[in-house]
Amino acid sequence: MNDRGVSSTLNYVLSLSIATLLVTGLLVAGGTFVEDRQKEVMRSELNVIGQQVASDINRADRLLTAGQGDTRVVVNQSFPKRITGSGYDILLSTGDPLDPSDDTLTLVSQDPEVQVEVHVQTEQTLVESYADSGVVVVRNRTGTNDELVITNG
Amino acid sequence: MADLSEDRGQILLIAAFAMAVTFVSLALVVNSAIFTENLASRGETSGSDDALVVRHEVQQSVGESIEYANTYNTSTDERQAQNVTESVATIRESIANQQAATGKMVVVEGPVDFVNGTRIRDNASASGSNFTNASTGGTHQADWAVAEEIERTRAFEMNISDAGGFAVTLQETSGGDRWQMTVIESSDDYTVEVSESGTVVGTCTVGPRQYVRIDVTGGVVGGEPCPHLQFGRGIDGEYDLFYNSSDDVTGNYSMVVDRDFVSTPANLTGTRADNDPYTTEAIYSADVTYRYDGPAIAYNTTVRVAPGEPA
């Protein structure tokens, strides 16, 4: 009998708190691990989607460059509405107008917020534009033969 | 040990449940990762490469019909245009049928615009003649202007032998820039020397042979690409095309220039003469409209067709 002199209540409280501590530790570690994985996966997913949109822009750019006179180019591709449980936005931003490598696609997921940038280089001019998740369309801006925008299909 | 009741283990149970939920969400995350890999390995899905391939096919086919009209139907520009228009209608049908089989809609229409030009050729029979101009008053000139105030030349090919310093010169009409290609033959080796405004930019030599075929606008000498032979590099706007020492060469040549001057031939005759160059009516280029509709792509544009034009 080695538990003599220890009240059963204390014993109970002790074992309960130790168990709680261990379990909480396990849950926190597990939760953080999953959250880290989620962010990592979102980052790579946004990266892949960004690169797909960038190559669509390049395809449209090639078609537009090959065209003469009045040209109309529409290239669309469907992407998942939500990635790992979160929606996302795609922003095509143009930096320095003289630097063609300064054009950037920025993809931002809503919850958790993960941001990824993909650079685009084109022959034609890119115009600042924006698209939601889903079907992303790359097209030349109505009425122009040398400007590309992204939009939703 | 304390006397614990049979209700023990709630914490463990709750913990196990929470862990289970964590693992399920981990599975979802991993699933997303797998989908990402799938998306990343997707190739060309929209078919933009096919749109360009078909466009090229259209360009080639219409180019062939222009060449056909220029070769076999030289009476008037109108006749040639009519001929090409009818060919384009046939091309439209066949390409539309072909592409419809794979679920794409391709419409070729036109030509919506023609640029009339002139074909200049000297195709003397047997082994050819020298490249002097048509006889004016019983004399031939060795240095003469083949075409003046032109902006473009295409399908300029010659098949020559015994060249000794024969040169093709492009001189800007209102500028000072000059481009020149000289052909020298030495013990059956042919050397093409290209110079720009008097400075030699490079030479290409082909081995011993009886004759050499030079695609002047295509940059090919004797079947081998010649990187220095870039027709009219550095020439802006209108230019005059001259032959120099054209009595120092034997063979045939043909070219199409973008000026419709068959009615007032400078140095040239409009009727075929065996040993002299002559001109015929020709279509220089034609524009057709092209429309490609695929499952994920729509492309409308105008395609300019000028076969054999330097890039």
Residue A114: the pLDDT is: 92
Asked if the C-beta of A56 comes within 8 angstroms of chain B's C-beta atoms, the answer is yes
Per-residue model confidence (pLDDT) at position B1: 47
Q: Percentage of chain A surpassing pLDDT 90?
A: 42
Interface with chain B: mutation pick from A53, A84, A136, A140, highest number of B CBs within 10 Å: A84
Q: Does B287 touch chain A (CB under 8 A)?
A: yes
List beta partners, residue B189.
B186
Q: What is the ipTM of this complex?
A: 0.81
Q: Is A142 on the interface with B (CB under 8 A)?
A: no
pTM, full prediction: 0.81
pLDDT greater than 60 at residue A103 = yes
- Nearest chain B alpha carbon to A18: B11
Two structure tokens written together for A142: 């109505």
Residues of B in contact with A31 (CB under 8 A): 22
Q: Indicate yes or no: CB of B32 within 8 angstroms of CB of A56.
A: no
Interface of A with B in 74-103 (CB under 8 A): 74-77, 79-80, 83-85
- Mean pLDDT per 10-residue run, chain B (311 residues)? 60 87 90 86 80 92 91 83 92 92 90 88 77 70 83 90 85 87 88 89 88 89 88 87 86 88 59 74 91 92 89 74
Count the alpha carbons within 13 Å of B134 in the hemisphere toward its beta carbon: 18
Specify the residue for token string 């395609």.
B303
Q: Exposed (0-12), middle (13-18) or buried (19+): which is A73, by Cβ within 10 Å?
A: buried
Residue A136 CA to residue A134 CA, distance in Å, equals 6
Closest CA of chain B from A96, distance in Å:
29
Q: pLDDT at position A1, please?
A: 55
**Contact yes or no for A84 and B12 at CB 8 A:** no
Is residue B305 within 8 A of residue B62, CB to CB? The reply is yes
Q: Chain A contact for B20, CB < 8 A?
A: no
**Cα torsion through A120, A121, A125, A129, rounded to 10:** 0
Alpha-carbon distance B49 to A118, whole Å? 23
CB pairs under 8 A between A and B: 116
The per-residue pLDDT for range B119-139, each reduced to its tens digit, is 888 887 767 788 887 666 667
Nearest Cα to Cα of residue B82 among B104, B114, B52: B114
Q: Is A29 on the interface with B (CB under 8 A)?
A: no
